[in-house]
Amino acid sequence: MALVSMRQLLDEAAKGGYGIGAFNVNNMEQIQSIMEAARETKSPVIVQASRGARAYSQDRFLYHLMMAATELYPEIPTVLHLDHGNSPETCKSAIEMGFTSVMMDGSLMPDGKTPSSFEYNVQVTKEVVEMAHARGVTVEAEIGCLGGIEDGHGMGGDGLDHLTDPAQAEEFVKLTGCDALAIAIGTSHGAYKFSRKPDGEVLKMDVLIEIHKRLPETHLVMHGSSSVPQELQDIINKYGGKLKPTFGVPVEEIQLGIRNGVRKVNVDTDNRLAITGAIRKVFMEAPEKFDPRDYMKPAREAMKKVVMERMVQFGQAGHAGDYEPIPLEQMAERYKTMAVA
């Protein structure tokens, strides 16, 4: 099975009332973890790479690893998504590389740090939508800004600083025609999201619910949605780490989001924690080991376990065989019809 359009996966998720995890990757082992988890749970999957990941893996390596994934796991509908594209040029390069979905994050300026204007966001997002849809490629956009910084991207600060305005979100979707919309409801990039278990004061699910009421047909996206489980923190600290106490987004809040239009859920930190904890454990318990396979195998297995849990919790498990993949060329024709309508 070739890489498929994210729009198709999100449309099917909407029909089935479930969400789909979008898992960030930088290397072969992470891709293997995700694909093995998808096979064991029979899940469609979104694999995503940031600009930092593309630079780290040198792009072509990443792309061909994903081609290998589609060959080895032909039964799994798989999307390759660009996470937080900072400009139309970045999105264009991903499309030309073979990504089947791109995010144009016009909520920030091209430096990936400075909040932009509504007008700028509409302009660059609309430009990418026109370019991508002509190739059958999905476009995710963002309005409002997440807190924190990850892979050099983000405005930093608190997740409550630039929440999404529901009325503005409604206007934005009408003006741009984006396929999916990432919204800011108090979440942040990275491990240090909340200093206490989040409640309605710091995680604004009421904003999400209001946006869904206004945009019932738009696929919503939750970024910064790692749950940062205490047990993963404990493993790292037990084996020499020094993580400060922190809380992530509770799975039950993500599930509430899924019941209110969230179709894509971004998870990265949880997987990083799992990998790091497994590696630290080997280094401390078997300091004589020096073969990378001795610590990358348990690291891969630890990440796979987390991904499987999320696939089940988000509801995507069991849905890999529900539909036949639509070629990008056919998606491009559909977009033409939608534009005329």
| Residues forming the active site | 83
- Under 8 Å between Cβ of 101 and 219: no
Picking from 276, 278, 265, the residue whose alpha carbon sits closest to that of residue 309 is: 265
Place of tokens 């922190």: 246
Give the DSSP H/E element, type plus range, for residue 101. Answer: strand 101-104
Strands 138-143 vs 20-24: parallel, antiparallel or unpaired: unpaired
- Under 8 Å between Cβ of 249 and 227: yes
Please list the residues that pair with 220 across neighbouring strands.
Answer: 181, 262
3-state secondary structure string across 81-95: EEEEECCHHHHHHHH
Give the DSSP H/E element, type plus range, for residue 233. Answer: helix 230-238
Cα dihedral sign for 124, 130, 136, 141? positive
Measure the CA–CA gap between 171 and 188, rounded to whole angstroms: 24
In 10 A of CB 206, how many CB atoms? 11
Tokens in use for 269?
A: 């930190």
